Amino acid sequence: MIAHHLPILQIIIPLMSAPICLVLRHARIAWVLSLAVSWICLVISVSLLVKVLDGGAISYELGDWAAPWGIEYHIDTLNAFVLVIVTAVGAVVMLYAKASVEAEVPEERRYLFYTMLMLCLTGLLGITITGDAFNLFVFLEISSLSSYVLISMGRDRRALTAAYRYLILGTVGATFYIIGVGLMYMMTGTLNFADLATLIPSVADTRTIQVALGFLTVGLCLKLALFPLHMWLPNAYVYAPSAVTVFLASTATKVAVYALIRVIFTIFGAVDILDIVQVRNLLMTMAIIAMFFGSIVAIYQMNVKRMLAYSSIAQIGYMILGVSLDTLTGVAAGIIHLFNHAMMKGSLFMALGAVIYQIGSVHLDDMAGLGRKMPLTMAAFVVGGLSLIGVPLTVGFISKWYLIQAVLERGWWPIAIIIITTSLLAVIYVWRVVEIIYFRAPSGAAAVATEAPVSLVVPTWILIGATLYFGIDATTTLDVAIAAARALIGGGS
């Protein structure tokens, strides 16, 4: 009986825990509750994924209202996989949050922090699980509004302006999305993804639908920070509290990529509209520019957190490139990179959070010589960095291997060369950090620094463990990604 209701429990449990945290007004209890809830969510999402892999897609009708009229939660391989990514990162971040938040957020605001984190988790899970276009907008705003608050909790006053700018751009993005949904509703009279997919082909040639696709794409690209719509991302990541950066960097943009995949391959899957209005070529061009731009700008950053933020922009380029290839391997490469990037970027930002905890800065000069003072944290950073580059035995290699394979299948070898070139750029920015933390004598705060507390190191190494494990034995994640891609594009090519 309870198993039948898992899809709604996935949302309801974190949603209800938020007001409870608010009412309790107690930091430690709020943390324990959030930790318990995030692990329950992980268990639910894993069991949903197992169920979907065994028995195909699950459809859950809210309040037993039949699908096109009522809101439907539709879980197939793709969103079950994304649910696991979000909840897994959420669960590990909650382990990490306690020490990090105690250092960075004032006592009286901590319970609010956990309230917002739970709301953000709810929103992200809701975007992923729902099968209804308008419901997706509501969850998008729940996750966005709570993430603005979370970002503004950073210690630096620039966190406030970063949150404000994200609020403006994020709202414009969400409003664009809702305009797109409205235009689709005008032509089809439905909001259900599956229903839209069957009705769109008959009206695909109308200007309204083409404009709708434009609005949806631009709106979602703002949320996922595709170049040149990435302006909000670097400051938001840099000035947010460490735990928030970890959480947002490894989930929020991934969920937006998922939403874009849903729009392109589910709603517009049956039409050739991608060719009509050139969305695919546009996405591919922007993805390639993002790969170059992000990597090159990252090389020049002195703040390591900002460097990783720009690297995220480049990595989002890889995901969108995979998606824009529109082949089975390409989409699978994009999907698997969602998971892989979440693991490695999460662990890298966690390592930096530990550095902030110990020396209060992530400026490159302040981090000199930390390799000897904080060996475990810095070793984690190096492994994560290697994965960003795409060195074999890490998840980064798996992503790039499949991406290059997908590009070559299409015969577009110049793009393969671009992927390798941007990986070499990643070597430069990762090496810069490695050189300074290992081969320079420590000075200032770094000279007296010690290893970070266990509660920060263990979560970091859990994600690094995942980075290595799924880099060595990628059969599980690959099977899921390929199954998801096959379901999206119907086994073609």
Partner 1 sequence: MELVGLLNYWIVIVLMMTGFYIVISHGNLVKKIVGLNVFQVSVFLLYITMGKVHGGTAPILEEGIALYSNPLPHVLILTAIVVGVATTALGLALVVRISDAYGTIEDDEIDAMENND
* Residues 122, 41: Cα–Cα separation, whole Å: 10
Per-residue DSSP letter, 326 = -
Cis bond upstream, residue 201 (ω within 30) = no
* Residues 293, 238: Cα–Cα separation, whole Å: 18
Start-to-end C-alpha separation, the chain: 40
Pick from 13, 75, 84, 163 the residue near partner 1 by CB under 8 A. 163
- The region, left, alpha or beta by phi > 0 then psi within -120 to 50, assigned to residue 16 is alpha
Task: Indicate if the alpha-carbon torsion angle 313, 257, 89, 485 is positive or negative.
Answer: negative
Q: Which stretch binds partner 1 (CB under 8 A): 14-22, 57-65, 159-167, 355-363?
A: 159-167
Pick from 39, 164, 401, 412 the residue near partner 1 by CB under 8 A. 164
Cβ-contact 250, 89 below 8 angstroms? yes
Which C-beta is closer to partner 1: that of 137 or that of 318? 137
Q: Which stretch binds partner 1 (CB under 8 A): 179-187, 253-261, 430-438, 483-491?
A: 179-187
Q: Which stretch binds partner 1 (CB under 8 A): 54-62, 168-176, 265-273, 403-411?
A: 168-176
- The yes or no reply on residue 62 touching partner 1 (CB under 8 A) is no
Pick from 100, 115, 152, 253 the residue near partner 1 by CB under 8 A. 152
Residue of 92, 86, 83, 89 whose CA lies nearest to 51: 83
Q: Which stretch binds partner 1 (CB under 8 A): 147-155, 278-286, 401-409, 484-492?
A: 147-155
- The yes or no reply on residue 145 touching partner 1 (CB under 8 A) is yes
- Binding mask 380-409 toward partner 1 (x if CB under 8 A, else -) reads ------------------------------
Q: Which stretch binds partner 1 (CB under 8 A): 95-103, 138-146, 343-351, 444-452?
A: 138-146
To the nearest whole angstrom, how small is the minimum distance from the Cβ of residue 186 to partner 1? Answer: 5
Helices (DSSP H) in 153-192: which residue ranges? 158-188
To the nearest whole angstrom, how small is the minimum distance from the Cβ of residue 210 to partner 1? Answer: 17
- The yes or no reply on residue 185 touching partner 1 (CB under 8 A) is yes
* Residues 291, 312: Cα–Cα separation, whole Å: 9
- The yes or no reply on residue 361 touching partner 1 (CB under 8 A) is no
Give kind and range of the element (H or E) at residue 74.
strand 72-75
Pick from 30, 178, 238, 248 the residue near partner 1 by CB under 8 A. 178
To the nearest whole angstrom, how small is the minimum distance from the Cβ of residue 238 to partner 1? Answer: 12
- The yes or no reply on residue 327 touching partner 1 (CB under 8 A) is no
Which C-beta is closer to partner 1: that of 134 or that of 292? 134
Helices (DSSP H) in 360-453: which residue ranges? 370-373, 375-389, 395-409, 413-439
Pick from 172, 427, 478, 489 the residue near partner 1 by CB under 8 A. 172
- The yes or no reply on residue 157 touching partner 1 (CB under 8 A) is yes
Q: Report the chain's C-alpha Rg in angstroms.
A: 21
Cβ-contact 384, 350 below 8 angstroms? no
Backbone angles phi, psi at 421, to 5 degrees: -60, -45
Cβ-contact 111, 24 below 8 angstroms? yes
Pick from 81, 114, 137, 293 the residue near partner 1 by CB under 8 A. 137
Backbone angles phi, psi at 74, to 5 degrees: -115, 120
Q: Which stretch binds partner 1 (CB under 8 A): 161-169, 300-308, 339-347, 447-455?
A: 161-169
Angle between helix 304-325 and 413-439 (nearest 10): 160
Cβ-contact 334, 257 below 8 angstroms? yes
The 3-state secondary structure of 437-490, one letter per residue: HHHCCCCHHHHHCCCCCHHHHHHHHHHHHHHHHHHHCCHHHHHHHHHHHHHHHC
- The yes or no reply on residue 161 touching partner 1 (CB under 8 A) is yes
Using CB under 8 A as the binding rule, the residues of this chain from 16 to 55 that contact partner 1 are: none
* Residues 321, 180: Cα–Cα separation, whole Å: 23
- The yes or no reply on residue 365 touching partner 1 (CB under 8 A) is no
Pick from 60, 73, 114, 148 the residue near partner 1 by CB under 8 A. 148
To the nearest whole angstrom, how small is the minimum distance from the Cβ of residue 160 to partner 1? Answer: 5
Which C-beta is closer to partner 1: that of 53 or that of 62? 62
* Residue 411: Cβ within 10 Å count: 8
- Binding mask 96-135 toward partner 1 (x if CB under 8 A, else -) reads --------------------------------------x-
- The yes or no reply on residue 203 touching partner 1 (CB under 8 A) is no
Residues that bind partner 1 (rule: CB under 8 A) add up to a total of 25
Using CB under 8 A as the binding rule, the residues of this chain from 282 to 321 that contact partner 1 are: none
Chain contacts with partner 1 (rule: CB under 8 A): 134, 137-138, 141, 145, 148-149, 152, 156-158, 160-161, 163-164, 167-168, 171-172, 175, 178-179, 182, 185-186
